[in-house]
A and B are shown apart, each in its own frame.
Chain A
Amino acid sequence: MSLDYPKTDELVAPDRVATPMYEDPALFDLEMDKIFGKAWVWVGHVSEVPDKGSFKLSHVGTQPVIISRDRKNELHVLVNRCRHRAASVCEIQKGKTSSFQCPYHGWGYALNGELRGVPYTEGYNTDFDKKDYGLKKLKVETFEGMIFASFNMDVEPLEDFLGNAKPWIRLFMKQGGGFPIKTLGEHQFKVPMNWKIQLENTTDAYHFPVVHKSFMQSLDGEATEQFSFLDDDDGWVEDLGNGHSVMVMMPELNDLDENLDAPIPERFQDLAATLRKDYDEDQVKRIVRAVGGCGFNLNLFPNAGCSLSFFRILRPVAVNETEIRHIALGMEGGPQAANQMRMRLHEHFQGPMGFGSPDDAEVWERVQRGSAGGPDLPVMVNRGLGLETPSENGLPKGDVSAETGMRAAYAQWKKMMDAPEAVQ
């Protein structure tokens, strides 16, 4: 690899990206270093590690990590690799523990990653200090219950990185309907595609009526109307800076605490009737409105989406392999009937056998298959260019079908790939 690789000007232009963006394994390795090795990366939600001693496995880029909550209630994100001879110290997806013990030679680590126990220490010289061999730690911060980690100890504060996305995250979390948000389970599937094909998709409204026609056909009239946002003229996509973007499909559902006097849609009438047994009418309206989810998709560079009613998390595996998690969300301590309906709505669209995800997976794979041809041809992300107006943040804002979000993500991609290595 030459020193001036990658020539990012040749890979990313304002209106297009080059085919090697999906195809070049060397570029993928650089991305793991310069993007997933540097940025704030979404790793989990606080409800996945609710108690002292809770842990959950996750990834930052291709690297396996453990999210743990120590006895002081502090969150840690630790590389899942023994500092002795590299074996993973935990292979249980989630649970509770007091420590992590390497299965190979028995090194034991505390929940905060510190090395506590080394069998037969007399075999090491006197200069061996356990303080030097804790699990590798990442920087950790949370925002509105979402846990982010970074390998870059000098990374900017999380809230600065999220920036204009913060108000949208706060709106997204209103779908607790007055209860805290908790994860209810997740669908996981992998697609033979580059990770950026998924990154592009979260704020791509243009594909919806084409790819998700069979999902639309399974909805009742009212819901079909709601999902026909490409035929309306009130939606939009805006660049939020730092690679983030939001696609507003149903503006009337942006703030779930508003419009509470709107009539309850037909498909939620049975739920409302059930809730009325335990809740007053104001609460019923708030919970029912929250059950339906938000009206927007928020894309957080580089790996997270707050998509209508769930978290969509991507994990790059290889240049042409990406794993996707669709994490269902519900109301902690909320009504069982409401959480059941949240799960049924999630199952309807999401997952390996949902009415939406398999069609997404098919077209994403088709992008990867198609990009094997015509290596000189660009991938166009120019829809809406020249038609955008400035948003309140002074950033580009296009109609709901504009490729504004993709351009935002690729601008951040280029910025991070061009960043000089910090002097060590």
Chain B
Amino acid sequence: MKDFPVTDLAISLQEAVEFVWAEADMLDACDYDAWLALWGDGGHYVIPIEKTGDDFANMLNIAYDDAAMRKMRVERLQGGFSISAAPPAQTVRTLSRFVAEAVDDTTITLRCAEHVVEDKFGRQRIFAVNLTYTLVRSETGIAIRDKVARLLNSNGVLTSISYLF
């Protein structure tokens, strides 16, 4: 176990896990407005293609969303004008195998496994994902600064995806 700094703003592993479980519940419910509110203004939501490397700005990704792109992505998923997202595939996801990679006075880097099962057209598909979060606490609560979702088959042949990881 890592030693967690004890300050008013430090985020414990338990808090971080509860936070991302709540996020997972929002994503399965397609409650994207609530999901957007979990984010700080900066940072990126990244779904890389390459298995290694983290210079995402200089790599082609599946998604590389700053705040503006996150907002547009949510508008697209909720707007009702995207045939692939109206209706979207339904999902059930599980998050587990949590590891606190780094902790400081206000920040925790949390990684975990995510399994997503989607259902559409009477067909189910499965995704396995390694998630890494950077969560930050301010006076207003915990927020996501960065989230990187590495699909196990990110550089393989994927399928159209109408939800978020």
Contact = CB atoms under 8 A, between A and B. Distances in A.
A358 B160 contact: yes
A188 B161 CA distance: 12
B83 A336 contact: no
A105 B149 CA distance: 40
Contacts of B58: 336, 339-340, 343
Contact of B158 (A188, A211, A214): A188
B76 A189 contact: no
Given A336-B58, A353-B47, A359 B82 contact: yes
- What band does the interface of chain A fall in when counting residues whose beta carbon is under 8 Å from B? 35 or more
Contacts of B85: 214, 358
B81 A184 contact: no
B60 A353 contact: no
Contact of B160 (A184, A217, A348, A357): A357
Contact of B75 (A191, A218, A348, A365): A218
B90 interface: no
B60 A352 contact: no
Contacts of A336: 58
Contacts of B155: 93, 188
B152 interface: no
A190 B160 CA distance: 8
A185 interface: yes
Interface stretch (B4-12, B61-69, B134-142): B61-69
B159 A217 contact: no
Contact of B84 (A187, A190, A359): A359
B93 to A, nearest CB: 16
Max chain A Cβ within 10 angstroms of own Cβ: one of B73, B75, B84, B162: B84
Interface string A306-333: 0000000000000000010000100000
Interface in B122-163: 155-162
Interface residues of B, number: 31
Given A189-B157, A340-B58, A353-B47, 7 more contacts: A189-B159, A191-B159, A218-B72, A347-B60, A347-B61, A353-B161, A365-B121
Given A184-B60, A328-B60, A347-B63, A214 B81 contact: yes
Given A217-B76, A362-B83, A323 B157 contact: yes
A213 interface: yes
Nearest to B65: A347
B49 A185 contact: yes
Contacts of A343: 58-61, 64
A348 B49 CA distance: 14
A186 interface: yes
A346 interface: yes
B47 A217 contact: no
A361 B60 contact: no
In order of increasing CB-CB distance, the 10 nearest A-B pairs are: A185-B60, A361-B160, A214-B82, A358-B84, A358-B160, A362-B84, A352-B158, A213-B81, A214-B81, A218-B72
Interface of B: 47, 49-50, 57-64, 69, 72-73, 75-76, 79, 81-85, 121, 155-162
A268 B62 CA distance: 22
Nearest to A364: B160
Contacts of B76: 214-215, 217-218, 355
A371 to B, nearest CB: 15
B121 to A, nearest CB: 7
Nearest to B66: A344
A369 interface: yes
Max chain A Cβ within 10 angstroms of own Cβ: one of B49, B69, B72, B83: B83
Max chain B Cβ within 10 angstroms of own Cβ: one of A93, A188, A215: A188
Contacts of A362: 83-84, 160
A352 B159 contact: yes
A186 to B, nearest CB: 7
A351 interface: yes
Contacts of A26: none
A344 B62 CA distance: 10
